Structure 1
């Protein structure tokens, strides 16, 4: 389990004429490594051996569900029949999201493999099947990647997608991974923070996050990480990728908000890494900073990546959203959300919680 955690957390061919450089962020790159705008002092116990001791000694409670989680199966014909005059959002699990943007299919951080790991036999394993396989997806116009950790950038998924995807949008440095996996350089656009791409449906912008990158022992922060803004004439979406809480959410909200839907990391948090993942309370605050109308918690319910129970992120975020009058969308994987008639969904996880936990949270 610990090895899986370490591997998951991480141990250009840009078409410049297509990208508007608002504020080149070379100050976030020094000595061959990318940096956060806010310093990230690690917690005193967040050392390799400190975490190893916790993984060995600390008892985890309800780390994975005891029964199958609900999934709405999807097929290509069903997706094709969705109207082309609107925007649809479909959560696939963890942080993977499928969009139908006025007829085009886009993917955000697609990880559809059995494990979020470089290996097929070890590492965090899915709690539920994906609602659709890569083979069953329709042709994809764009794939947007937030950073290169294994639970956000999956080699097997990308290799399957390269033959059916027109364009990959990635942070600076991540293009090297894709090229190694056979994606053509001409199909990749690499972004620095605050760079924008004008598309037929509107605007895509790559915005900051407070996190880090790396897929091995020696490549830490050699590629960038961030979040994505998607704006059409009628809708505005935000996708957080992974991030600790920071002032950048307010900056993004002032520049690009308000947002009709924010997809915000809510899961895999812990006292030993507060700088790189948010608590559910911070996730709700990030939505408020972003001027989000509806928040969809992502980064939960698919992989065991921390010490908390699998349902805790959803339970805590629902409670604080109620307290702060924030509208929450909690679809099960495969649910189709129409941005023009946004249905928030039920609190489906509560029926799957152990009874004593459900009673305690009631």
Structure 2
């Protein structure tokens, strides 16, 4: 059996080739730009941090794993039907599922990492399958002004969904460097715009999107590791900023303090809490609930919302372990559960101006 077939059967499409450090490509198919502190002319990297896993690490995890059983279906109670707009300073965040969210404030509709497909995989027949339906039906979405795509892993960049959203000529697709080529290569109607870390992009009505670093990586296959950039986002609004981290490790925690210093804290932080076991393999790229609470404290957010759990089984923890561990971590730190909430697909976080 060849390596590609083996990795597919092991479920590796969910991580876009994670763990395969034996890449040999000498050409970047997505991006050709100047060398910087996080781009060496071929691959992107996190300054002063090396976290690639070897093929041996990957196979050790796959053959020794203690994978908890998930239910085939874990449906939510209902679906959200969001309003056309949320004007003014009120903030409405609808949890679609996994890493997909609809953010509405100041009359701007922002969709983050939209995945409506049944699998987080390049294949229709294999790879992680969703256990609950998207919290908003695609046909119930309001007019989308901006789609933010954080990086190119299959549980975040879903080309079929992006094509479905591209019918509105006013929708902008904003993504880190290199991912625009992947999107347009699939469908030229996806009007993707690519930006580097530290970019600030105006999206209308006094709202801006900042591209910020995270401790993560990228790949769509076996030989393109770190050839497209990944990022967190800060959504700057007239009534406070939103810090959205798609995927990240914790590392030294420096970037979270830097985000606080740069943006003077946050009205809301949207932080991942799932896909973290086993820690020896995942800690460099995915935080666990305890680390999510630490980031909440470090970045100076008033409130937090959890995501990246409960829809696709990407790693080994049980489906309900992330929110349980989050509750325990908040209790240990003396933080009220209302300040860092979890939602099921179709549920909504609303923050009104007091």
Q: Report the TM range for the smaller structure's normalisation.
A: 0.7 to 0.9
Alpha-carbon deviations, 1:65-102, whole Å to 9, x = none?
36633243133xx422x642332111111110011222
Q: For the structure 1 residues 177 and 57, does the alpha-carbon distance in structure 2 shift closer, same or farther, using more than 3 Å as the test?
A: same
1:133 Cα shift? Answer: 2.8
Q: For the structure 1 residues 184 and 58, does the alpha-carbon distance in structure 2 shift closer, same or farther, using more than 3 Å as the test?
A: closer
- Verify: 1:311 aligned to 2:320, yes or no: yes
> Which piece of structure 1 moves more, 219-228 or 190-199?
190-199
Decide which of 258, 261, 268 is 1:254's aligned counterpart.
261
Decide which of 175, 182, 194 is 1:170's aligned counterpart.
175
Looking at structure 1, the residues matched to 298 and 319 of structure 2 have their Cα atoms a distance apart, in angstroms, of 26
Decide which of 36, 39, 60 is 1:29's aligned counterpart.
39
Q: For the structure 1 residues 41 and 166, does the alpha-carbon distance in structure 2 shift closer, same or farther, using more than 3 Å as the test?
A: closer
* Kept in 1: contact 2:79–2:137 (CA 8 A): no
Structure 1: any 5+ residue segments left out of the alignment?
Answer: 12-23, 343-362
Instruction: For 1:132-147, list aligned pairs within 5 A.
Output: 132-147=136-151
* Kept in 2: contact 1:2–1:55 (CA 8 A): no
Structure 2 match to 1:112: 116
Structure 1 match to 2:292: 283
SS in 1 for 2:282: coil
* Kept in 1: contact 2:163–2:189 (CA 8 A): no
* Kept in 1: contact 2:80–2:94 (CA 8 A): no
Structure 2 match to 1:357: none
Q: For the structure 1 residues 341 and 309, does the alpha-carbon distance in structure 2 shift closer, same or farther, using more than 3 Å as the test?
A: farther
* Kept in 2: contact 1:213–1:223 (CA 8 A): yes
* Kept in 2: contact 1:71–1:128 (CA 8 A): no
- Verify: 1:328 aligned to 2:340, yes or no: yes
1:132 Cα shift? Answer: 2.1
Structure 1 match to 2:22: none
Decide which of 329, 335, 340 is 2:352's aligned counterpart.
340
Normalising by structure 2, what TM-score?
A: 0.84
SS in 1 for 2:322: helix
- Verify: 1:89 aligned to 2:99, yes or no: no
* Kept in 1: contact 2:67–2:315 (CA 8 A): no
* Kept in 2: contact 1:91–1:335 (CA 8 A): yes
Count of residue correspondences: 322
Normalising by structure 1, what TM-score?
A: 0.83
Q: For the structure 1 residues 210 and 333, does the alpha-carbon distance in structure 2 shift closer, same or farther, using more than 3 Å as the test?
A: same
Alpha-carbon deviations, 1:179-203, whole Å to 9, x = none?
1122447x33211111111332322
Looking at structure 2, the residues matched to 200 and 83 of structure 1 have their Cα atoms a distance apart, in angstroms, of 12
Looking at structure 2, the residues matched to 308 and 225 of structure 1 have their Cα atoms a distance apart, in angstroms, of 25
- Verify: 1:100 aligned to 2:110, yes or no: no
Looking at structure 1, the residues matched to 229 and 303 of structure 2 have their Cα atoms a distance apart, in angstroms, of 28
- Verify: 1:294 aligned to 2:303, yes or no: yes
Looking at structure 1, the residues matched to 308 and 45 of structure 2 have their Cα atoms a distance apart, in angstroms, of 23
The runs of at least 4 consecutive aligned structure 1 residues that moved more than 6 Å come to: none
* Kept in 1: contact 2:152–2:219 (CA 8 A): yes
Alpha-carbon deviations, 1:218-272, whole Å to 9, x = none?
1111110110001211132111011111311110011113112111111111321
Q: For the structure 1 residues 303 and 341, does the alpha-carbon distance in structure 2 shift closer, same or farther, using more than 3 Å as the test?
A: farther
Q: For the structure 1 residues 256 and 115, does the alpha-carbon distance in structure 2 shift closer, same or farther, using more than 3 Å as the test?
A: same
Alpha-carbon deviations, 1:107-158, whole Å to 9, x = none?
0011111110011111001110112232332221100011110000001111
Looking at structure 2, the residues matched to 256 and 151 of structure 1 have their Cα atoms a distance apart, in angstroms, of 28
* Kept in 2: contact 1:72–1:131 (CA 8 A): yes
Q: For the structure 1 residues 219 and 54, does the alpha-carbon distance in structure 2 shift closer, same or farther, using more than 3 Å as the test?
A: closer
Indicate the RMSD between aligned Cα atoms, in angstroms: 2.3
Structure 2: any 5+ residue segments left out of the alignment?
Answer: 1-5, 18-33
* Kept in 2: contact 1:35–1:221 (CA 8 A): yes
Decide which of 258, 261, 265 is 2:272's aligned counterpart.
265
* Kept in 2: contact 1:71–1:129 (CA 8 A): no
Structure 1 match to 2:62: 55
Structure 1 match to 2:78: 72
> Which piece of structure 1 moves more, 108-117 or 96-105?
96-105
Structure 2 match to 1:354: none
Decide which of 210, 215, 223 is 2:220's aligned counterpart.
215
